[in-house]
Amino acid sequence: MAGLSTPQNQAGVLSFYDAPEKGPLMSPKILLVAVFAFVLIIIILDHFITASL
């Protein structure tokens, strides 16, 4: 029957996701702090822009 998954197909998917990353590694804490700082800067800039209008 066509469409049945075989262990070989599943192993290929698993090996794809287990492949080592070549990009930069970043801690989740640093990422959360960066996102929070970006949102805070946008809110402050929005406040100053709307206050001057």
pLDDT at 45 over 90: yes
Q: How high is the pLDDT of residue 2? A: 54
Copy the structure tokens of residue 50.
């709307």
Q: For the segment 2-29, what is each residue's pLDDT rounded down to a tens digit?
A: 555 555 555 555 555 555 677 778 899 9
pTM, rounded to two decimals: 0.54
How far apart are alpha carbons 7 and 40 in whole angstroms?
Answer: 48
Q: How high is the pLDDT of residue 11? A: 53
What is the mean predicted confidence (pLDDT) over 24-40?
93
User: Cβ–Cβ contacts within 10 Å for residue 40, how many?
Assistant: 10
Q: Is 24 helix (H, G, I), strand (E, B) or coil?
A: coil
Q: Is 51 helix (H, G, I), strand (E, B) or coil?
A: helix
What is the mean predicted confidence (pLDDT) over 30-41?
97
